[in-house]
Structure 1
Amino acid sequence: MHVKNVTKIALFAAILSVLSFVFIPIGTVPITLQTLGVFLASLLLGAKDGALAVLIYILLGAVGLPVFAGGRGGFEVLIGPTGGYLMSFPIAAYILGKGVKFNNKIFDMLIVILCVFIIYAIGVPYLKYVTGMDFKKALKIGMIPFIIPDIIKSAAAYLISVEVNKRINIRL
């Protein structure tokens, strides 16, 4: 792996860490800018490097650095109510990086929205399991309030990445 790639991966892990500090605590699952960072990393770096940047971010948090929402860190966050969402991020990043080709905006946006729902498909059942709440309540707490904001953040990430790629072609 080239120094340039390692630098981009580290930069996006850092960007994701900073974006995690922007959060609104609305209950068990806060509104954050983490998904914006996850999507930007995969759209700008590609599937492998984007997913690796997200995985490094998660590992930094797992070892105790305060990089998760609210400045939290530690393995207990990964096994807590929001752990499923965090663990879904590298998967969504990889799929997004593989799926988006920047040649068909409608298809690309469908992939982006699919990846939002991949995060929910992992995060909501994990929230249900960890908290013991029923599935309907887990959907109400862990998905419903976030659908619109997450689609907006993912669309913003796509539009930002289109412009960045036009100007400096960062994607490998």
Structure 2
Amino acid sequence: MTMTDDSTAPATTRRPRLSATDLALVAAFAALIAACTVVGGIPVGGAGVEITLQTFGIALTGALLGAVRGTLAVAVYLALGAAGLPIFSGHSSGLGVFTGLTAGYLWSFLAVAFVTGLLVRYAARGRRTSAFVVFLCCLPGVGLNHLLGILGMAAFSDVPFSTAAGWDAPFWLGDIVKALVVALVAAEVHRAFPQLLGRRTR
């Protein structure tokens, strides 16, 4: 009868899905989104919704962190606002915001970060250092943000979709410009840190 020494068997260790660095990035980008939002907003449109850098922060988070970490960072930001920190548009906070006029925009942020991160990582692949390619990856997120925002305003204000779309219309140009700036910044960051969205190695 032979005995084997388990101590000589190769040990296999499973790496945690999110490392300490990942968690630090998630926290940092949640703070970045909050900072982008609380910088003075400009009320525009029939509904008086403010233009802020909030969507810039959301798209940049997805483009730099990818789908999983980007969505998690947005979730942390939303949770902090829901808990009472005045980090939503107009320095608002609390659970009531999630059933108010801008609720559709807030709920869309998770999808925006996820879709943008997914496209930048998998559709752009080795071309994510091209600002034009990253810009194209950001556009579906812009569309999602506006579509869900319009649906939210129509639902919670009890107005026709066309009326809510009219309220939303003034934001399109600014959000496209913000997507372009996101693309310029993200392309440079990916050029400097090519492994930021790459596969982990053992």
Q: Do Structure 1 and Structure 2 share a fold, with TM-score over 0.5?
A: yes
The separation in 1 between residues aligned to 2:97 and 2:135, in whole angstroms, is 30
Aligned CA RMSD, in angstroms, stands at 1.6
1:2 and 2:13 correspond: no
User: Residue type of the partner of 1:151?
Assistant: I
User: Residue type of the partner of 2:64?
Assistant: L
The separation in 2 between residues aligned to 1:53 and 1:79, in whole angstroms, is 21
Percent identity, aligned pairs only?
34
Q: Which residues of structure 1 form unaligned runs of 5+?
A: none
Q: Residue 65 of structure 1: SS of its match in structure 2?
A: coil
Give the stretch that moved more between structures: 70-79 or 20-29.
20-29
The separation in 2 between residues aligned to 1:170 and 1:24, in whole angstroms, is 37
1:13 and 2:63 correspond: no
The separation in 1 between residues aligned to 2:160 and 2:48, in whole angstroms, is 14
Q: Residue 20 of structure 1: SS of its match in structure 2?
A: helix
User: Residue type of the partner of 1:39?
Assistant: A
Match of 1:81 among 98, 101, 107: 101
Match of 1:48 among 68, 87, 91: 68
The separation in 2 between residues aligned to 1:166 and 1:108, in whole angstroms, is 12
1:119 and 2:137 correspond: no
Change (3 A) 1:32 1:170: farther
Tell me the equivalent position of 1:24: 42
Give the stretch that moved more between structures: 48-57 or 27-36.
27-36
Tell me the equivalent position of 1:149: 174
The separation in 2 between residues aligned to 1:96 and 1:135, in whole angstroms, is 25
| Structure number with higher helix proportion | 1
Which has the larger Rg?
2
Within 5 Å, give how 1:92-107 maps onto structure 2: 92-100=112-120, 101=124, 103=127, 105=130, 106-107=132-133
Change (3 A) 1:66 1:166: same
The separation in 1 between residues aligned to 2:62 and 2:136, in whole angstroms, is 15
User: Residue type of the partner of 1:71?
Assistant: H
User: Residue type of the partner of 2:36?
Assistant: L
TM-score by length of 1: 0.93
Q: Which residues of structure 2 form unaligned runs of 5+?
A: 1-17, 198-202
Deviation at 1:171, TM superposition (A): 2.4
What count of residue pairs does the alignment treat as equivalent?
A: 171
